[in-house]
Amino acid sequence: MTEMVYGTAPIRAGEPVLPRWWRTVDRWAIGCIVMLFGVGLLLGLASSPPLATRNGLDPFFYVQRQLFFGALAIAAMLVTSMLSPDSIRRLAVFGFFLALLALAGLPFAGTDFGKGAVRWYSLGFASVQPSEFLKPFLAVFAAWLLAAGHEVNGPPGRSLSLGFVLLVVGLLVIQPDFGQAALVGFAWMIMYFVGGAPILLLLVLGGMVVFGGVFFYNSSEHFARRIDGFLAPEVDPRTQMGFATNAIQEGGIFGVGVGEGQVKWSLPDAHTDFIIAVAAEEYGLVLVLLIIFLFATIVLRSLFRLMRERDIFIRLAGTGLVTMFAAQAMINMGVAVRLLPSKGMTLPFVSYGGSSLVAAGIGIGILLALTRTRPQGEIGDILTRRGRG
């Protein structure tokens, strides 16, 4: 009976925490994250000095801040990855309600920094974007509710999780931040599907998303302007999208050379939303493919580990985190090559941004913690044992 519950994975009694963590964590994923951060610093050295100069700051001001916040993100990732699933769940519940409260307070105490969307709290020496921290905690919190809904006589977890997601989406739309709202909604739908939702219900939810898009297109000038710019047959070369498109075309396969790119002098968001354009122009398709490979490695390794997991809460939470991580990367790169309308979303661990870096570190740390090899083992243990019987 003990083997049926805990599997056949060996338990090393008295093993210290750090060796056990190193033996069970996905070291390849950690290596890919560190490499992505290194690429981000390299691109920050190329893209941020022009902006710092325009703002009257030290040329490497943004690089130094990226190094500082990146170190915090890596530390947060490593510490969080050592937690147990129960500790992760408690952390996520507390973090979710704290971030939700901060998100609800933005209309009253937030600022837009002249960008037309109230998404930040200004602290003077830095700024905080609550939605970045809300995403990983929401994935775990929603997974906990969905998993509880599968229990006999359990709470209505599916309805509760949907209600909280709709609340978050509504608060994001108020800012407005349609990109993050779409990301959160998409991740929840994937989790709901993995948790056994009927296809018909997912089609209904998809129809509601389409209806919502049409409604906001007709009622929000901010939303309509971005959609119209995306659907225009030709790109205005004087817009951010135009500069980014031209930079990617100029880069070719091997790029124009280190420090020779011109897009960083024209794009105000070259170090954040359009960092991939800087990579494509100066280092060419080679570096872009390396970045895609690193993201794909993290996502695929995490999914393969989650496929062998028997705990439904861990499977759902991990799926939500992987979906958010992968979708955000795809959206950022898709916007740069004009496959998607502009959304103002960073490239995880590569783009500059304190909130996005630290929040990404927490999110990946939670994912690493959930995908660690544990004694309860893999679903294949049961199948193998049944086959032998």
Vertex 226, ends 221 and 232: CA angle to 5°?
Answer: 115
Q: Which residues pair with 127 in a beta bridge?
A: 122
The sign of the torsion formed by the CA atoms of 149, 155, 158, 160 equals negative
Place of tokens 């390794």: 301
pLDDT tier, 234 (very low <50, low <70, confident <90, very high otherwise) = low
pLDDT of 8 > 50? The answer is no
pLDDT at 319: 96
Residue 376: DSSP 8-state: T
| Global confidence as pTM | 0.87
pLDDT at 235: 63
| Residue 128 amino acid letter | V
Q: What digits encode the pLDDT tens for the residues 34-85?
A: 999 999 999 988 888 888 888 888 888 889 999 999 999 999 999 999 999 9
Q: What digits encode the pLDDT tens for the residues 74-123?
A: 999 999 999 999 999 999 999 999 999 999 999 998 888 777 778 889 88
Alpha helices per DSSP H over the chain: 2-6, 17-24, 27-54, 61-81, 85-104, 106-109, 130-148, 157-174, 178-194, 199-219, 221-231, 240-251, 275-307, 312-336, 354-370, 379-388
Q: What digits encode the pLDDT tens for the residues 187-218?
A: 998 998 888 777 777 788 778 777 877 777 77
Q: Pick the range with the lowest mean pLDDT from 272-286, 291-305, 335-349.
A: 335-349
